[in-house]
Amino acid sequence: MPFSDYKTALVTGASAGMGEAIVERLCKEGIVVHALARRGDELERLAARTGCIPHVVDVADVNALTEVCRNLPIDILVNNAGVSHPGSILNAEEHYIDTQVDVNLRAVLHLCRLLVPGMMERDCGHVINITSIAAIYNFGGNSIYHATKAGVHALSRQLRVDCYGKRVRITEICPGRVATDIFGNVSGDKEGARRQFIDGFELPEAKDIADTVAFALAAPVAVNIGHIEITPTLQVPGGLSTMRPGDATR
């Protein structure tokens, strides 16, 4: 379905990183983009640069989401907003669970509930869920993040079933490490996080994710690109660990 078949988009987590790049790319394609994020100053600058329509909204606020989506025919929904806190569920704080469930999973469910029925009625639409390789593979720490992203992975597959018979396409994009400020946003130490996770590595950039979104959107109407993993060439997800009884206490 070429871009010319789509007129409007809604992108969450739009004020920085991958969300910002996706908004920029869609605006260049002539799409009217509703950009949602909590940081108003960044959104206003993005709107001035791209012409997008800014909405200062916390996606965890269901009432605010409902108001934004009211009578809003959206052809492209990009669920990009996400938050992460490091650590195992064994030592997680209560608000780590609530925040990640609210932003990473509950908001996606509500936006699909609010917007996908209209796509079905119009027989035209595309939902793009930005998850993570953490939705598919398990590695140390970030237990809650893994669980919420795995939930969106399952939802992405289920949406294909729910939308069966209509020209509503579902794409899940699973990035590995990308050169954005997300690591600094998690730790609060942007410079330290950049040195640890970005400097010296060959990594995809936010623009690469935006180009991938555009690739999925521009596919012919008969083509649904369901699942894409994007990792650095020099990154391998997954792994296998085995220990003898007692090794962990030595």
178-213 pLDDT per residue, tens = 998 776 666 667 787 788 878 888 999 999 999 999
**Residue 173 banded pLDDT, cuts 50, 70, 90:** very high
Q: Specify which residues 79 forms β-bridges with.
A: 129
End-to-end CA separation in angstroms for the chain: 58
Query: How far apart are the C-alpha atoms of 170 and 187, rounded to whole Å?
Result: 32
Sheet containing 227-230: order of strands: 53-56, 32-37, 8-12, 76-79, 125-130, 168-175, 227-230
What is the predicted pLDDT for the residue at 239? 79
* Separation in Å, CA 179 to CA 34, 50, 203: 24, 22, 6
**Annotated active-site positions, please?**
145
What is the predicted pLDDT for the residue at 185? 66
What is the predicted pLDDT for the residue at 58? 97
| 183 alpha-carbon distance from chain centroid | 15
- Spell out the domains of the chain, with CATH numbers in brackets: 3-232 (3.40.50.720)
What is the predicted pLDDT for the residue at 191? 80
What is the predicted pLDDT for the residue at 53? 98
